[in-house]
Structure 1
């Protein structure tokens, strides 16, 4: 069945609903929900999302969205559909660009930079050490006192797969935004909790039927890339499960054979059979049979007269 609304997890959906000038009020609302540790923003402005070092050997960073608010704070926004190698280090590296661009060329600026935040909406689990936490605010802190060292730098990671609230459980704007990231493209009607601004504006912009032909084509191309990756994950998971079943069956057979050998040894110990005979019978090293026999004798001392003969 075709979806009524676009997915916020696609590159197209994320940029259309939060990255167009006509809907900057949505972006302001979203940022205020995601960054509760900071004063609320009133206005935001979008900036070019491609950044380079001004050196001969340039490095480049491309953000999904890059914005600043009325205080001059910079915010990097991104949707990540799959884990990347060294993801946490990459996030810290990306924050260098908004910091460096604040340096005033040709004059001493004193390193008095405005706030920089990086907000990553993740379609995968990043932090397995915190299984019940999905909205992470990360800052530099003093380890001995747990005090914030630098308030101007904040990393925000949202692990969407961990967010499992149903629509009747949504209490805060943070809940509502995370629900939309997970389920917007599955909705046919607007739930009661979203029948308010700015969410009504989002639903109007997200309706596929109201898009131009070019927008629909761009969205479906973006959706195809997202689904292709999800299918790759599902295939890899099924292959892993099948391999696990094969290995489990192999291990089970191995354990069954081992258990059979031990049962033969136990019966042989009860009957007082020569350990050299038992060693050849079960295909086990003589020293190991002796060790097994000693252990068995300790457990069954006095139960079998033939065993000590």
Structure 2
């Protein structure tokens, strides 16, 4: 049986060879394809934490846990040394203030100054807000995650088990509109929980690894809370792309041979989806190739 990581490496190769080259909103430029699908079987304990370059899976899981809190301020992430969301508010502050403040100094002020954090650390109504506190036209809040878990427990054959973050009325208030925007769930006859993630836009070299790792962690948590076991993680990408400043790095990565995927286990079962911490996740057997660095296009 072919190693599951090869389907991702094959996707990278197709984008390099056949991708449409065009200018994007960042001005960096991309090569992109439209409409791709990857499948990862989690039923044997393995998770798609890619091995052809080191993935900081704890950062991805911490981000997913942050989403689940409903949080929208980078201070909560910086307190856990997670800096992957700093670029957008930092760029906004630089433009507004006319200063070339360093990222370290900006993050230091977010951590040290409450008022500064409230004004400049806020990302707007991004993922967590929509997942946990979607506000309808009548002003009522909807906890999409809570509703999903109740449905998984009591009506697992439902075809309406999903949540999403594409709130049209609030897109303009978000630092970045949601990329991984829809999650749909399915329970099979073996009581396995399957998850399909639809991602409208995906930076394959930097972002995809976090989406796969975070999605696997979410599937584990939801399955445990609903008394199910993890099944398949299906990832569907709309505009999947490689930034032009990542071409050399991707060429290096696709020449590497995948190593065995690691396994993920949860070390305890919290009372609710809100009770998980990074210490509840145990990943074993992860022996990746070295890191390949690349800049984020903002």
Q: TM-score range by the shorter chain?
A: under 0.3
Query: Which structure has more helix as a fraction of its residues?
Result: 1
Larger Rg: 1
Which structure features the higher share of strand residues? 2
TM-score of the pair, normalised by structure 2: 0.26
Q: With CA pairs under 8 Å and 6+ residues apart, which has the higher RCO, 1 or 2?
A: 2
Using structure 1 for the length normalisation, give the TM-score.
0.26
